[in-house]
Amino acid sequence: MMKLVTVSGPPSSGKTSVLLRVIEELKGQHTTLGVVKFDCLSTHDKALYEKKDIPVKVGISGNLCPDHFFVTNIEACYEWGRESGFEYLFTESAGLCNRCSPHIKNIIAVCVIDCLSGIYTPHKIGPMLKLADVVIITKGDIVSQAEREVFAFKVRQSNPKAKIIFMNGNTGQGAFQTAKLLENLSSEEGVHENRLRFSMPAAICSYCLGETKIGADYQMGNVKKMHLDVETKKENIKKQPDDENQQEEEIYENLHKIQSLSIIGGVDKNGEDEKVHLSIRPGDIVSIVGPTGSGKSRLLADIECMAQKDTPTKRQIRINGEIPGSDMRFSIASKLVAQISQNMNFIMDLTVEEFIKTHAKSRMIEGINQVAERVFQKANELSGESFGKNTPVTALSGGQSRALMIADTALISASPIVLIDEIENAGVDRKKALDLLVNEEKIVLMSTHDPILALMGHKRIIIKNGGILKVIETTEEEKNNLVFIQLIDDKMMVLRNKLRQGESLNSDIKKTFSIE
């Protein structure tokens, strides 16, 4: 039986990149599959699929609505896939109109949408998001953790039943979860006499037939007019029903608060056993060290997807000593890992205060004003340069942005595990940042090359050749050496501040570094 998967989404949301990564995961399991690309005017994606040896057909709708073009050709496309012996057939449609409706009843429906489109975009998209089985959110790696959570909250409001997955089309992070999810979802065989999940956009008018002149005399057929009054009418805003509010509250109340995270070793790139069984508890700080390309990101991906010996490393992740169920693995409400990295930026057009409160509201936190005040104060404590509540988040410096991200993640984000990437270059008080996260009972994983951060951890995971080489507990001797290294770092900070203030370094620097 062949599974048909319809994939749609707004332009430039990353649909092709997502498909290429998911297909790569499925092909690794010796799965046969093909793709049909529907577009409006032109596409260069055919070459991308062919480069990966993926059978592909392309359809260009031209002057026709891509949705109408899709539905009049999908049956023939299905037959092509069936006759080709595919186990999966993916269709990718343009989604040029937010009213597009390319999903079919009892056929797996996927919508791809990106974080950069704005937090209110999910409410603006019609059936292709609201009726999808799976919503894949892209480009989340370049926005803050809070913005990812708010965006996912808005998606959940628009489509409470959909499975939500964050995916990076460049690195492939999230592709494994998506592939496993598609394996578990059922799809009806055949499309003949099946029905669309929602009607197509209605437009049969003179302009559809080639008319170009503007004016009522030239507008015939299915034409819709706006009713413009002199006085602006107040919008009839409907309050969200209590049952919907209750449903959102339950999502967060059911977020699994972990007492332990266990990493059971798998294999490295050579197939050698890792021989590791590591248990991490809330309040623990674990640094991850290793050469570039050694496999640090793969370990973090295994933790994020709660791997069950079904990733390339064959590792297993247990929560509170137990194997997590599929609902927990693929639920956005059970997302374990919050990430803070140098690549993240704020994109919301909000002030600092508005940003914090928006995130708190999406988490349905009580006492929003008090929480926002605490986040603001803690962020300023972490930052080397203070900022105000009315400062636009897009105007914050790199250090101020990272300070706000850390404080916000510690005090508002529900994720029990925080991954910090290269905090040594973030321009924040590292010790205060770690203390804040630990005091909030977060498990902290730091990917770092900085000896100070490495020794601040209770343990160090050493990665080599795609595997966990060993786990080292920080010794008392190392803690004593850390004090000395921090003294050197303090001296370096004095020199940095002098340069920042326009001073010269003409004095004898050797005296600066004379440490007793």
Query: pLDDT tens across 391-450, in order?
Result: 999 999 888 998 999 999 999 988 888 988 766 666 788 889 999 999 999 999 988 888
User: 231-260: b or e for each residue (b if 16 or more CB lie within 10 Å)?
Assistant: eeeeeeeeeeeeeeeeebeebeeebeebee
User: 362-377: b or e for each residue (b if 16 or more CB lie within 10 Å)?
Assistant: bbebeebeebbebbbe
Quick one: 170 and 276 in the same domain?
no
- At residue 245, the pLDDT reads 45
- At residue 435, the pLDDT reads 92
Parallel, antiparallel, or unpaired for β 277-280 and 261-264? antiparallel
Quick one: 176 and 293 in the same domain?
no
Quick one: 310 and 437 in the same domain?
yes
- At residue 430, the pLDDT reads 84
230 pLDDT more than 50: no
- At residue 253, the pLDDT reads 47
At 329, is the pLDDT very low, low, confident or very high (cuts 50, 70, 90)? confident
Average pLDDT over residues 71-80: 91
DSSP string for 102-116? --BTTSEEEEEEEGG
What is the share, in percent, of the chain residues with pLDDT greater than 90?
A: 43
Q: How many other CB atoms are found less than 10 A from the CB of residue 505? A: 10
Task: Report the CATH number that the domain containing residue 381 is assigned in CATH.
Answer: 3.40.50.300
Does residue 246 fall inside a structural domain?
A: no
Quote the domain boundaries for residue 112.
3-184
Point out the domain boundary residue: 124, 154, 184.
184
- Report the side by side order of strands in the sheet with 3-8: 56-60, 33-39, 88-92, 3-8, 108-114, 134-138, 163-167
Does residue 361 fall inside a structural domain?
A: yes
- At residue 162, the pLDDT reads 92
Quick one: 176 and 267 in the same domain?
no
Quick one: 149 and 280 in the same domain?
no
- At residue 226, the pLDDT reads 61
pLDDT in tens, 277-286: 999 999 999 9
- DSSP state letter for 424: G
Quick one: 271 and 152 in the same domain?
no
Q: Which among 64-68, 380-384, 478-482, 487-491 has the top mean pLDDT?
A: 478-482
Spatial contact of 275 and 446, defined as CB atoms under 8 Å apart: no
* Beta strands, E only, 258-313: 261-264, 277-280, 285-289
At 333, is the pLDDT very low, low, confident or very high (cuts 50, 70, 90)? low
* Least trusted range by pLDDT, from 25-29, 210-214, 261-265: 210-214
Angular region, 110: left φ>0, alpha ψ -120 to 50, beta rest: beta
Quick one: 27 and 158 in the same domain?
yes
Spatial contact of 192 and 75, defined as CB atoms under 8 Å apart: yes
Which pTM does this prediction carry? 0.77
- At residue 204, the pLDDT reads 65
Spatial contact of 111 and 163, defined as CB atoms under 8 Å apart: no
Mean pLDDT in the chain?
Answer: 85
- At residue 458, the pLDDT reads 93
Quick one: 151 and 47 in the same domain?
yes
Point out the domain boundary residue: 169, 184, 199.
184
Quick one: 274 and 162 in the same domain?
no
Does residue 192 fall inside a structural domain?
A: no
236 pLDDT more than 60: no
- At residue 57, the pLDDT reads 94
Q: HSE on the CB side for 397, CA within 13 Å?
A: 14
DSSP string for 314-377? --EEEETTBPPPHHHHT-GGG--EEEE-TT-B-----BHHHHHHHHHHHTT-SSHHHHHHHHHH
Does residue 231 fall inside a structural domain?
A: no
Strand partners, 459: 286, 473
Quick one: 269 and 415 in the same domain?
yes
How many structural domains compose the chain? 2
DSSP string for 67-105? HHHHHHHHHHHHHHHHHTT-SEEEEE----STT----BT
Strand partners, 89: 4, 34
Q: Which among 27-36, 198-207, 506-515 has the top mean pLDDT?
A: 27-36
Among 164, 359, 335, residue whose Cα is nearest residue 256 = 335
Residue bearing the bigger pLDDT, 514 or 252: 514
Average pLDDT over residues 242-252: 45
Which helix (H) or strand (E) segment holds residue 509: the answer is: helix 509-512
**What's the Rg (C-alpha) of the chain?**
26
Alpha-carbon separation of residue 310 from 31, 177, 213, 288, 336 (angstroms): 15, 10, 60, 22, 18
Supply 405's token pair.
Answer: 């991200």
CA angle 489, 495, 499 (to 5 degrees): 140
* Least trusted range by pLDDT, from 126-140, 178-192, 292-306, 436-450: 292-306
58 φ, ψ (degrees, to nearest 5): -125, 135
At 342, is the pLDDT very low, low, confident or very high (cuts 50, 70, 90)? confident
Residue bearing the bigger pLDDT, 65 or 85: 85
Does residue 196 fall inside a structural domain?
A: no
CA angle 10, 12, 16 (to 5 degrees): 95
174 pLDDT more than 70: yes
- At residue 365, the pLDDT reads 87
Average pLDDT over residues 159-187: 89
- At residue 354, the pLDDT reads 94
Among 430, 381, 382, 379, residue whose Cα is nearest residue 408 = 379
Quick one: 377 and 272 in the same domain?
yes
Helical H runs in 126-210? 127-130, 145-158, 175-184
Average pLDDT over residues 271-276: 92
17 pLDDT more than 90: yes
- At residue 232, the pLDDT reads 39
Point out the domain boundary residue: 184, 208, 224.
184
User: 430-455: b or e for each residue (b if 16 or more CB lie within 10 Å)?
Assistant: bebbbebbbebebbbbbbbebbebbb
- At residue 422, the pLDDT reads 67
Does residue 213 fall inside a structural domain?
A: no
Residue bearing the bigger pLDDT, 298 or 18: 18
Separation between Cα atoms, residue 397 and residue 402, nearest integer Å: 9
* Beta strands, E only, 334-487: 337-340, 417-421, 443-447, 459-464, 467-473
pLDDT in tens, 360-378: 998 888 899 999 999 999 9
- At residue 237, the pLDDT reads 36
Quick one: 21 and 148 in the same domain?
yes
155, amino acid identity: V
